[in-house]
Amino acid sequence: MNMPRVTTEVLQAIRRSKKPSSKADIVRSTGFSLVTVTEHVETLVRSNLVIEVDMGPSTGGRRPRLLSFNAEAGYIVAVDLETTHVQVGIVDLNCSILASKASDIDVASGPKAVLEHIKEMVFCLLKENEIETSLIKGIGMGVPGPVEYSTGLPASLPIMPGWDRYPIRQFFAQHFQCPCYIDNNVYTMALGERTVELASEIDNLVFLKIGNGIGAGIICNGQIYRGSAECAGDVGHINIGHDVLCYCGNRGCLEAIAGGRAMVRRAEQIARDGQSKILAEILLVKGKLTSGDVKRAVLESDPVVVEMVRECGVLIGNVLANLINFFNPSLVCIGGGFSQIGDLLLASIRQAIYHRSLPLATRNLLIQQSSLGEKAGVIGAAVLTVDEIINDSLKKTASGIFSFY
């Protein structure tokens, strides 16, 4: 068998184990021989990706050396870009966030301004945490739309003028000497969610992001599923038969009626129509509403706003019910900024799913709010990057050049 595949499998066995592994553990989990495991463990220890930790208990003979993944072998810059908001994190190789910053931005101000702003945030974080730029081993970034993953170039999106095939990787290459990976941020969110204890055992997962728009990230057999044109999960433009015009030019798209942007617009209409005293007052003061205002009205049991959010939840749940019949996942995770509106939205989604999905498909289905909340995207971008740089390093190891350090 060729070298990088075996080395990668040995490393992944060590990484994924919840406790330090003996070589015998690795033999059991990979199916490789002890000779093979020993050879590849030595390469990994030399590379500093694996370290020896305390000795395991003796099973009669010598006490075995235990092996552990070296999460401090470097750091990752992880970026989660939304249309109106960005989060940046410095993350270790175990994908734990060491430090992070968030900022409002407008993605429509174009890639140059937005990326320059992100770069400043990164340098600020590095300085505050006294981390040398040379310790950054990879950059991972999620963007709010489809990406050609192999090149990192975003697809054309009406909500992101100027970003069509913009070379984001080249921008970062001017400032960092490390590889950079760009992906649709709903895919990275799904990947992030899968690091949570419960979800890590789950092979088939749908992560539904309710942000300004609506999109889904799919984990299939444990891997991100991107689809043939790398636009899988683009469920925001599923037609639900209403007559509202969407920015995409079609009528009746799910996100044009039940997405975050639509919810805020409807809440503003409710305020202007005098149907909600709370929202009318906020609108008068601020001149516009946000998801936080909608959440507040729901918490204060404003009946018209509650009805509107419930209706959005049912519309989203109806679409999910169909996708569940088709894809039969074991976990549906509801995330994105607008999912924080509260239990009412989740309850309405669940109600619609249980009403409309097949009993066999929902018998053991978990439907829950994202456990990582607004951190899902940053953590997922780090997960993606760590997997990629490890695979890359090991490919180079095989050809005699080890590049991780």
**Interatomic CA distance for residues 173 and 179, integer angstroms:** 8
Told to check if 234 binds its own copies by CB under 8 A, we report: yes
Whether 261 contacts 213, CB under 8 Å: yes
Among the listed residues 280, 367, 341, 351, the one whose alpha carbon sits nearest the alpha carbon of residue 314: 351
Residue from 79, 279, 316, 319 in contact with its own copies (CB under 8 A): 319
Told to check if 299 binds its own copies by CB under 8 A, we report: no
Q: Site mask, its own copies, residues 339-368, x = CB under 8 A?
A: -----------------x-x-xx-xxx---
Residue from 108, 131, 238, 280 in contact with its own copies (CB under 8 A): 238
Told to check if 325 binds its own copies by CB under 8 A, we report: yes
Among the listed residues 30, 27, 72, 29, the one whose alpha carbon sits nearest the alpha carbon of residue 49: 72
Interstrand relation of 50-53 and 66-69 (parallel, antiparallel or unpaired)? antiparallel
Question: Locate tokens 């330090």: which residue?
Answer: 20
Among the listed residues 293, 83, 286, the one whose alpha carbon sits nearest the alpha carbon of residue 186: 83
Residue with smaller CB distance to its own copies, 111 or 215: 215
Residue from 34, 124, 135, 229 in contact with its own copies (CB under 8 A): 229
Residue from 39, 230, 311, 392 in contact with its own copies (CB under 8 A): 230
**Interatomic CA distance for residues 348 and 345, integer angstroms:** 5
Residue 209 has φ and ψ, to the nearest 5°, of -95, 120
Residue from 130, 132, 326, 401 in contact with its own copies (CB under 8 A): 326
Q: How far is the CB of 229 from its own copies (least distance, A)?
A: 5
Whole-angstrom CA distances from 339 to 181, 271, 360, 370, 371 are 27, 21, 26, 8, 11
By CB under 8 A, the residues from 245 to 264 that bind its own copies are: 250
Segment near its own copies (CB under 8 A), from 119-127, 161-169, 171-179, 221-229? 221-229
Binding site for its own copies (CB under 8 A): 1-2, 5-6, 31-33, 36, 146, 155, 202-204, 216, 218, 220-221, 223, 225-235, 237-239, 241, 250, 318-319, 321-323, 325-330, 356, 358, 360-361, 363-365
